[in-house]
Amino acid sequence: MSEAALLNPKASAIASPLTPALDIAGVHRRYGNFVALENVNLDIWPGEFVSIIGHSGCGKSTLLNLISGLDHPSEGSVKLLGRTITGPGPDRAMVFQNYSLLPWLSVRANVTEALRAARTDMNAAERDASTDHALKMVGLWPHQHKRPSALSGGQRQRVAIARAFAVQPRVLLLDEPFGALDAITKGKLQDELLGMWSTEGESGISNVVMVTHDIDEAIYLSDRIVVMSNGPRAHIHEVLTVDLPRPRDRTELVSHPTYLNLKAHMLHLLGTVLATHH
């Protein structure tokens, strides 16, 4: 069995193991004289959940924007299934920390309008069906006619996640999506995200790429963790494999030797090795 299939059993059914889902090669990103990213190289294989972690200003969100197509590398290339990314597309969807919902629209309309913009191949009936499915997945079907202002922070983030899943992208991009939530709500949404990804992956989302500051979150959710060096001229300092079986039990995970070793190593990297240059 291929490395990709071992990481996630969905992988063998999604794409050839010889073709990375995402191929980031020799990427530099400059803004005038400021070098945000320098020589970033990373292959992400079909079926992987990859987290990107590092100190503020290390280029995590810049890298995510390059994958989304909202920004472009100054040098190098970012490819999705062998095709160079030149702009945003329905094969990628982004969820931000601040929800990015349209406050004048209902929960349902926020999802439907995203579909109308991203999936021009869908007719009205298909958009309605996809919206229904996404809202039921995140438990917001009873709240579909409310506006975002009537929802809690956790519910608003559920709308943002539903909107992304409804588009049925190949790659889901998450920019610290749970960073503003309390610990209990964060844990629930992490579990819901994993459940939705597992359920929907065979027909839709193959990969998740997430930016986070949270070491525990990165270990719990990820197959691999990309640790960025400090900026400017940020690059990949180390890529860590999370050798823990799925599904993962949060209560058992915190005492697992692999978890403890990974967390200790990451604390050392971020608190000592990289902190000396921060």
pLDDT tens-digit profile of 34-91?
999 999 999 999 999 999 999 998 999 999 999 999 999 999 999 999 999 999 999 9
pLDDT value, residue 277: 54
In angstroms, the CA 219 to CA 21 distance is: 21
pLDDT band, very low/low/confident/very high, at 276 (cuts 50, 70, 90): low
Mean predicted confidence (pLDDT) in 111-136: 93
pLDDT value, residue 228: 96
pLDDT value, residue 17: 58
pTM over 0.85: yes
Does the pLDDT at position 255 exceed 80? Answer: yes
The string over 171-197, giving b where at least 16 C-beta atoms fall within 10 Å of a residue's C-beta and e elsewhere, is bbbbbbbbeebeeebbbebbebbbebb
Identify the CA nearest to 106 among candidates 45, 76, 170, 150. 150
Between strands 75-80 and 49-53, the pairing is unpaired
pLDDT value, residue 123: 94
- Alpha helices, DSSP H only, in 3-123? 3-7, 11-14, 60-68, 107-118
Residues 155-200: pLDDT tens digits? 998 999 999 989 989 999 999 988 888 889 889 889 988 988 887 6
- Map residue 43 onto helix, strand or coil: strand
In angstroms, the CA 187 to CA 47 distance is: 22
Identify the CA nearest to 228 among candidates 18, 27, 63, 52. 52
Q: In what order do the strands lie in the sheet with 75-80?
A: 34-44, 22-31, 75-80, 83-84
pLDDT value, residue 8: 39
pLDDT band, very low/low/confident/very high, at 13 (cuts 50, 70, 90): very low
Does the pLDDT at position 1 exceed 90? Answer: no
Question: Among 115-119, 150-154, 179-183, 267-271, which stretch is predicted with the lowest mean pLDDT?
Answer: 179-183
* Domain ranges, ordered by start, for the chain: 22-91+169-272
pLDDT value, residue 48: 95
Give me the chain's average pLDDT, please: 89
Question: Among 29-33, 178-182, 183-187, 271-275, which stretch is predicted with the lowest mean pLDDT?
Answer: 271-275
pLDDT value, residue 62: 96
Sorted by sequence, the CB contacts under 8 Å of residue 218 that are 6+ apart come out as 51, 53, 210, 212, 225, 266
pLDDT value, residue 206: 87
Torsion sign, CA atoms 263, 268, 270, 274 = negative
In angstroms, the CA 221 to CA 230 distance is: 23
The residue written with tokens 């180390």 in the block is: 238
- In the numeric block, which tokens belong to residue 192? 């819901």
Largest CA distance in the chain: 56
Does the pLDDT at position 207 exceed 50? Answer: yes
CATH number for 22-91+169-272 (one of 3.40.50.300, 1.10.357.10, 3.30.390.30, 3.40.225.10): it is: 3.40.50.300
Residues 208-244: pLDDT tens digits? 999 999 999 999 999 999 999 998 999 999 999 999 9
